[in-house]
A and B are shown apart, each in its own frame.
Chain A
Amino acid sequence: MSQGSGMSASTMRAIVVGDRERWIKLVMFFCASVSFLGVLMIFLFIFRESLPAISKVGIRQLFLSTDWRPKSGHYGMLAFTFGTLFTTAVAMIIAAPLGIGAAIFIDQVAPEKVGRSVRRVIELLAGIPSVVIGWFALILLVPFIRNLTGSSGFGMGAASLVLVVMSLPTITTLSAESLKAVPTELKEASAAMGATRWQSIYKIIMPSAREGLMIAVILGMGRAIGETMAVQMVIGNASQATASLVQPGSTLPTRIVQDMGEASGVFRSALFAQALMLLLISVFLVVFIRLISRKRKGE
């Protein structure tokens, strides 16, 4: 304090404010670097851990083979990559129309109050922990499929339906958002030209919200691809590659969680290689979204 006696009060304040500015800058920089370095470390770590498998098993045998017999040294993950993409694709075929349809209902068809409450309920769905949805599916969905088809009930179909539930909130809310962003003038102009409500939705609103709807579906896919717990409970965790909805299979995340407990050596490394594959798929989706958004801005 005795140091400050020579300075005027305003100079003091300026120094204090300047100091504070600098501190805040430092703190923010620290926050940013932590998240940036965190992501970087995850990438590097997963890559490093999967190197032994890549070098010992070989890229072909590791990534492009469906032969998964870890006890005899076969670590092909293609069956699980396929399982991930297949269940996600089936889920999207169901969830995309359902989610976009719900979004159109919320934004265009329903009276405002009804739309809002429907939206709240769907948002609530996003908050249900996946283990609860998985258990629910295990107790209701699996026996239902079993009785319907005479199979075990566990399998790609049950997993896909679980993924529909998991991705629906994302798709619906984001779609509703992008429908809302369509300029009112367009809607009014369409109505003024004598278009019916359906014609307006189908010919004007949906095309102009197209990129937004695509991003909604892709983000829903991202949610579906990484889903582990709920899928693991109903997919059957078999190691075969199958496109049958009533046959058990695995996805990359379910295989990792199923086997990581006591895996060691190359086996463990092969699981990291599966994580790497999963990461690459997610990165691909993110890049795809960037491309779509850039195209939209460019227009």
Chain B
Amino acid sequence: MDWRPSKRSSAAATCVAILLAVTAVAAGCGGQAQKQAAGGRVKASGSTTVLPIAQEAAVEYGDANRGVRVDVQGGGSSVGINQLIQGIVDIGMSSRDLNPDEVGKGLVNHNIAFDIIAIVINPSMPVTNLSDAQITAIFTGKVKNWKELGGPDKQIVVVVRDQASGTREIFDKRALGATDTRVVETVPSAIQCSSNGVMREIVGTTPNAIGYISFGYVNKRLKAISFNGVAPTVADAATGRYPIARFLHLFTKGEAKGVAKGYIDFVLSDKFQTEIVAREYVKMKDVKTP
């Protein structure tokens, strides 16, 4: 088993190379900035769901404040939280709550957006409500025809997201009943797509399709159906009556301060929430938790 140490060392070498490159870039263009605001650089990493928002915010926040830089990286929620605990980054982006083993490490949560995942079908399909048992049967391949669900005699085309998707993770957990220890595998014939946009394209154009998508992407080309009799609305998702929803988080170690605080405040500012966050998700202002 001699590949293990060498693999680790090559990973370490890569890290060192990346660090060197980052330092070089920073030294090249940040010399003047450092005089203005000492420690004006903040690093964030984590969820690829949060990544687009965080990146947009980093650019806009950097443009608005001279000498301030926010470096944002993907890697997944767990990676971000781990790196935050280890002190490698200043902000951990996550599309899930803290796991039991991550609680009590002094992490402070900042909710930045509310993501409701709607179960969507093609508007031509007359079905309007499905129970959790029916949804599980469809996505695991036990029910294959719309006839069994009160629809026409048509084969169901199941569309899912890719393995790395946070949307898929929350859907598998809240709709299909998966847990961290119990995996629910979707039917092998399911079409896999790698973004909300592609999901809308496929379900919107395929008469027999069923899939799931972030609420902000639902338009007239899709029909969002009720889950256990509850429609995906902001009000019902906020109270938890509609269960397939989650907050997107930015975590900091201890209370946020300095540039990290400024950055998080910027993400929560009215302007950014309306212009960027509301494109895909529900603004924090519109979520009234009981």
Contact = CB atoms under 8 A, between A and B. Distances in A.
Interface of A: 48-49, 51-52, 55, 68-72, 79, 143, 146, 150-154, 236-240, 242, 247-248, 258-259, 261-263
Nearest to A267: B163
B219 to A, nearest CB: 18
Given A72-B185, A238-B188, A248-B191, A262 B76 contact: yes
Q: Which of B154, B193, B206 has the most CB of A within 10 A?
A: B206
Interface in B121-163: 154, 157, 162-163
Contacts, number: 71
A153 B206 contact: yes
Nearest to B162: A258
Contacts of B287: none
B3 A48 contact: yes
Q: Which of A70, A153, A237 has the most CB of B within 10 A?
A: A237
B189 interface: yes
Given A72-B185, A146-B206, A154-B202, A238 B191 contact: yes
A259 B164 contact: yes
Chain B interface residue count: which class?
20 to 34
Contacts of A259: 162-164
Given A152-B157, A262-B48, A71 B191 contact: no
Contact of A242 (B157, B189, B192, B194): B189
Nearest to A52: B3
B145 to A, nearest CB: 13
Contacts of A55: 1
A159 to B, nearest CB: 13
Interface of B: 1, 3, 6-7, 48, 75-76, 154, 157, 162-164, 183, 185, 188-194, 202, 205-206, 208-209
Nearest to A154: B191
- Rank and list the top 9 A-B pairs by shortest CB-CB distance, nearest first: A262-B164, A240-B188, A237-B192, A236-B191, A71-B183, A152-B157, A152-B206, A239-B188, A240-B189
B248 to A, nearest CB: 17
Contacts of B76: 262
A154 B211 CA distance: 15
A51 to B, nearest CB: 6
25 contacts: A49-B3, A52-B3, A71-B185, A72-B183, A143-B205, A146-B205, A146-B206, A152-B157, A152-B202, A152-B208, A154-B191, A236-B191, A236-B192, A237-B162, A237-B192, A238-B188, A238-B192, A240-B188, A242-B189, A247-B189, A258-B162, A258-B163, A258-B192, A261-B48, A262-B48
A187 B6 CA distance: 62
